[in-house]
Amino acid sequence: MLRHFALAPGARPRMIRGQSERRVMDDTQPNGDAAKLAEDKARIARQFIEAIPFSGALKMSLDEIGDGVAVISMPYDDALVGDPRTGVIHGGAVSALMDTCGGAAVMSRSEGPAGTATLDLRIDYMRPATPGETIVARAECYHITRSVAFVRAEAFDADDTRPVASATGAFTVMRAEGGA
């Protein structure tokens, strides 16, 4: 079971695993270099998400990232509605959120892939998301090889006890040198 990390609206992205921003920024700490490296990786991943046009068009924002885990939220918007009678968001928009979140989780691995692309993604829709509520996806890259990364993800609305959807996917691992 994946845990859901809820953040208050407008909260700043932060590191996972209890690394406070102060500790990360403080180079005098014994593990300052490692923490600095982790912060650099998180910053690169955040820029990576923000540079994606389609994720921006769906107003996705990165809430948390680090160590193979990413949390991305997508606010409710009339433009995403799939069923006008109920106002429920289209499954395709939830797929897009899961896909982005899965890719971010892969990029945040300490192995440091140069890039990633989705090979396959399966989504199970457990229940309709409540109209008006932000959808938050949490993806975990639980295994990575030289060429493939494996991801699990879940999406929630304001009720973080019952997932709206879950997903599993395989992603490519692009290498900076020597090709994919």
Question: Closest approach of Cβ 146 to other proteins, in Å?
Answer: 19
| Residues in region 123-162 near other proteins by CB under 8 A | 123-125, 128
Question: Closest approach of Cβ 158 to other proteins, in Å?
Answer: 21
Q: Where are the beta strands (DSSP E) in 1-147?
A: 14-15, 61-66, 69-74, 81-83, 88-89, 118-125, 135-144
Considering only 90, 148, 150, 175, the residue that binds other proteins (CB under 8 A) is 90
Question: Applying CB under 8 A, does 32 fall inside the site for other proteins?
Answer: no
Q: Rounded CA gap, 138 and 71, in Å?
A: 4
Q: Rounded CA gap, 14 and 25, in Å?
A: 12
Considering only 62, 97, 144, 151, the residue that binds other proteins (CB under 8 A) is 97
CA-nearest of 98, 100, 107, 121 to 170 is 121
Structural contact between residues 145 and 95, judged by C-beta atoms closer than 8 angstroms: no
CA-nearest of 69, 70, 67 to 49 is 70
Question: Closest approach of Cβ 29 to other proteins, in Å?
Answer: 35
CA-to-CA separations, 159 to 1, 93, 127, 151, in angstroms, rounded: 16, 19, 12, 23
Residue type, 35: A
Question: Applying CB under 8 A, does 9 fall inside the site for other proteins?
Answer: no
Question: Applying CB under 8 A, does 35 fall inside the site for other proteins?
Answer: no
| Residues in region 41-70 near other proteins by CB under 8 A | 51-58
Stretch that binds other proteins, among 1-9, 11-19, 86-94, 150-158 (CB under 8 A): 86-94
Question: Closest approach of Cβ 60 to other proteins, in Å?
Answer: 9
Which residue, 35 or 137, is less far from other proteins as judged by CB?
137
Question: Applying CB under 8 A, does 121 fall inside the site for other proteins?
Answer: yes
Binding site for other proteins (CB under 8 A): 51-58, 78-85, 89-93, 95-100, 103, 115, 117-125, 128
